[in-house]
Structure 1
Amino acid sequence: MLLDPLLSYFPPEYHWPVQFCTFTTVATYIASLVTSNVSQVDRVWTFLPTIYTAYFALLPLFPNTQPFFLFPYTPKELDVPNELSPRAVLMLALVVTWMSRLSYNTWRRGLFSLKDEDYRWAVLRQKIPPWLFQVLNLTFIATIQNMLLLYIAVPTAIASVYQSRAPLTVTDYALAALTLVDLALEFTADNQQYAFHAYKHAILAADKGDTSVPAYDLAQQWPGARLNWVPADARRGFVTRGLWAYVRHPNFACEQTFWWLITLFPVLPPHTGAPPLSLKAIINAPSTWVMLSRLWPLFPGVALSLLFYSSTPFTESISVSKYPEAYAAYQARVAMFKPWDTWFKGLMLEQKGPLKRKEVERLVWGAEEKKE
């Protein structure tokens, strides 16, 4: 096969995922050129991690030979037992729940439409030369993002291959509970943002005398998103209430937390059979390279966090350009991802004087709002 030289560099459990990832990278890149729309990867983002996770969790069920290209198979040289790994199956169930939440939010926002493109790419097109944008499309948008979507499923591969016979432990149940709480918070953040924009469009349309936009109906919103919006919120332009009062991107914070929790399933004690990951082994590593090689099971969580910490400032720069005074005040008062930083920001503003803090909070929440 054409990809055999490439696959030889990877352990056998990654042969089919690398094959499939190569296909999706080429397919999404070609689709972006044909449609002049680079959001093709965005449309499959909700499904690909689940596909890779399902492959790793269900390894014993696949044939040992590949009947045709892209058909999932378990290479003969991969020694896995006939039974499924309980830990990997639990991780798959959580990832399917994650996919359901994200798919629902993507669908109701209309982002599955082949004509839709992330607004950030349109802004970036105007800021850089066309040739550089196409380089970015090939390297980051198509290639790196597809690789990342495979990489964040690696913890399930560790659980399935190295811990196939390990029973579930208290650690697994605790992580699963935390993961479900995190998904509930992320779902609430999604709903609050969706409800805000529904309210905003209704209020701004009413201001213009536009009767084509239906009035905002509080009862149509999910529990947890039925906040008491006021017209000043709509005219501010962006959501600052609910979970958004404590961090500027609660959905992004929860997304990172979810994949960090998935990353921790196969590496936290008392698991056995996992690749070496212990504090003693890391401290006593003879070189930085060896230390990093011992930390590699944590890298999926690190990789996703790097994506959010590098891309979110660009997203916020667009918001600042649209709402220069109000969004700058929001940045000064509310943390990007960590809620405890919001408390610290409030304390720092207080040091500049109560009037300074009140002025910032008036821009963020209105004259009567005060958040800790």
Structure 2
Amino acid sequence: MALPTLHALEECSDFAKTVQPFIPQLYALPQKVLDVVMSRDGFSDLYVETNPLISGFAISTVLGAVFLVVSEINKNYSQVDRCWSLLPTLYIAHFDAWARLAGVPSARLDAALFFSTIWSMRLTFNYWRKGGYEVGSEDYRWEIIRKQVPAVVFHVFNWTFISFIQSILLFLLAAPAYILLLASKFEPNLTSADFAYVSIELGLVVIEWFADQQQWDFQNAKSEYKKSGKVSQGYSQADLDRGFITSGLWGYSRHPNFAAEQSIWFFLYQWSCFASKNLYSWSGVGPSFLIMLFQGSTWLTELITAGKYKEYSEYQGLVGMFVPSRFSSYKTPPIKPPRVIRTSELAKNLSKKQK
């Protein structure tokens, strides 16, 4: 049995009924896979007979081992980063493919896969143009952490968080699709709410696109300014001298792209809750952990940025990290003119001291 026997839509989010009974399949899966490899037959049967949540989790742990080995051999710890924009979509595709092979209605999963594919295409393109797929490229933050901790501690960090936990996290981001799959057995057709959630997801992807494009344009303008002294159209010399972007979406949020990224996976989780008529469920673990991860990584990013640019502390005080803290866009604080002290004031102060 690959799916639980459920009697009500609300049961689709019940961990005790939809996840816990299938955990033993995870322990038996390695031997079953080995048997299929040895016999060279029956892979499709094993795939359909295994609960899709369990098989997806197993894939994420295997990939974690691959990331660990490759990172330790190459001494490059951005292996998960290179797959970040692809894996959540591949896991949703896994749930979608499983539903089709098992004869379960897949309209909701098709819709989830549609928005996720658009998300992957945009994020992969942005990562590529920033040089993320170039040989030897690595997230600068790993290098900073590596310098701050003993080598043994960093290796343990890689064996746990960087390779395995991040890999499993990418699967957990897609795990709400499992609840959508289960709910589709009760409500097979798309509803107006489903279309609304897809529209929200696509809207968040558009926000990400605008935010990253604005950052890309600014960084290119700054690079050109440093090389030739030329101020690109749309920017002032003061903007480029400041060193970081404060215009467009960045005038209202210090990290609008990060805010949209977290919201995308939170709304997929909310979609699964709505589809199963529950306020919350176990599938919120992935989005919740992602939000906590962004808190830590953004703190480190801002710590580095504040050390590079004098005005950044002013920017932090006036603009929210993710959620806008005011309606108006950020404006560079005016430079206070030096106070002119008159000779009469100096004489008055001197006489006061003498008394």
TM-score (norm: length of structure 1): 0.73
Match in the other structure for 1:172: 194
- Pair member with larger Rg: 2
Q: Once the 2 structures are TM-superposed, how far is the Cα of residue 199 of structure 1 from its aligned partner? A: 0.2
Deviation digits for residues 164-195 of structure 1, max 9, x if unmatched? 35221121111111111111111000100000
Give the Cα–Cα distance (whole angstroms) in 1 for the partners of residues 260 and 312 of structure 2.
21
Report the secondary structure of 2:134's partner residue.
coil
Q: What pairs with 1:8-87 in structure 2 (closer than 5 Å)?
A: 12-62=51-101, 80=102, 82-87=103-108
Report the secondary structure of 2:180's partner residue.
helix
Report the secondary structure of 1:54's partner residue.
helix
Deviation digits for residues 71-115 of structure 1, max 9, x if unmatched? xxxxxxxxx5x1432111101111001001101101111101231
Specify every segment of 5 or more residues in structure 1 that has no aligned partner in the other structure, as ranges: 63-79, 208-214, 219-227, 279-293, 347-357, 364-372
Residues 17/153 of structure 1: CA separation in 2 closer, same or farther (3 Å cut) = same
Deviation digits for residues 98-156 of structure 1, max 9, x if unmatched? 00110110111110123100011111112111111111111111111101000000111
Q: What pairs with 1:348-367 in structure 2 (closer than 5 Å)?
A: 361-362=333-334
Match status 1:297 vs 2:283: yes
Q: Please give the root-mean-square deviation of Cα atoms over the aligned residues, in Å.
A: 2.4
| Contact 2:172 2:283 survives alignment (8 Å) | no
Match in the other structure for 2:320: 335
Report the secondary structure of 2:321's partner residue.
coil
| Contact 2:252 2:329 survives alignment (8 Å) | no
Give the Cα–Cα distance (whole angstroms) in 1 for the partners of residues 329 and 249 of structure 2.
16
Q: What pairs with 1:175-186 in structure 2 (closer than 5 Å)?
A: 175-186=197-208
Match in the other structure for 2:221: 199
Deviation digits for residues 188-226 of structure 1, max 9, x if unmatched? 00100000010000001114xxxxxxx7876xxxxxxxx
Give the Cα–Cα distance (whole angstroms) in 2 for the partners of residues 19 and 90 of structure 1.
25
Give the Cα–Cα distance (whole angstroms) in 2 for the partners of residues 182 and 199 of structure 1.
26
Give the Cα–Cα distance (whole angstroms) in 2 for the partners of residues 201 and 29 of structure 1.
35
Report the secondary structure of 1:117's partner residue.
coil
Match in the other structure for 1:155: 176
**Structure 2: which amino acid aligns with 1:157?**
Y
Residues 108/246 of structure 1: CA separation in 2 closer, same or farther (3 Å cut) = same
Match in the other structure for 2:120: 99
**Structure 2: which amino acid aligns with 1:114?**
V
| Contact 1:192 1:242 survives alignment (8 Å) | yes
Match in the other structure for 2:146: 125
Residues 362/116 of structure 1: CA separation in 2 closer, same or farther (3 Å cut) = farther
Match status 1:249 vs 2:252: no
| Contact 2:67 2:163 survives alignment (8 Å) | yes
Q: Once the 2 structures are TM-superposed, how far is the Cα of residue 343 of structure 1 from its aligned partner? A: 4.8
Report the secondary structure of 1:266's partner residue.
helix
Q: Once the 2 structures are TM-superposed, how far is the Cα of residue 6 of structure 1 from its aligned partner? A: 6.9
**Structure 1: which amino acid aligns with 2:225?**
I
**Structure 1: which amino acid aligns with 2:278?**
L
Report the secondary structure of 1:256's partner residue.
helix
Q: What pairs with 1:222-371 in structure 2 (closer than 5 Å)?
A: 228-268=234-274, 271=275, 274=276, 277-278=278-279, 295-323=281-309, 325-339=310-324, 341-343=325-327, 361-362=333-334
| Contact 2:273 2:281 survives alignment (8 Å) | no
Residues 253/6 of structure 1: CA separation in 2 closer, same or farther (3 Å cut) = farther
| Contact 2:269 2:283 survives alignment (8 Å) | yes
| Contact 1:29 1:137 survives alignment (8 Å) | yes
The count of residues paired between Structure 1 and Structure 2 equals 291
Residues 217/240 of structure 1: CA separation in 2 closer, same or farther (3 Å cut) = closer
Q: Once the 2 structures are TM-superposed, how far is the Cα of residue 300 of structure 1 from its aligned partner? A: 2.8
**Aligned residues with identical type, % of pairs:** 33
Bigger share in helix: 2
**Structure 1: which amino acid aligns with 2:142?**
W
- Answer 1 or 2: higher relative contact order, Cα 8 Å, separation at least 6: 2
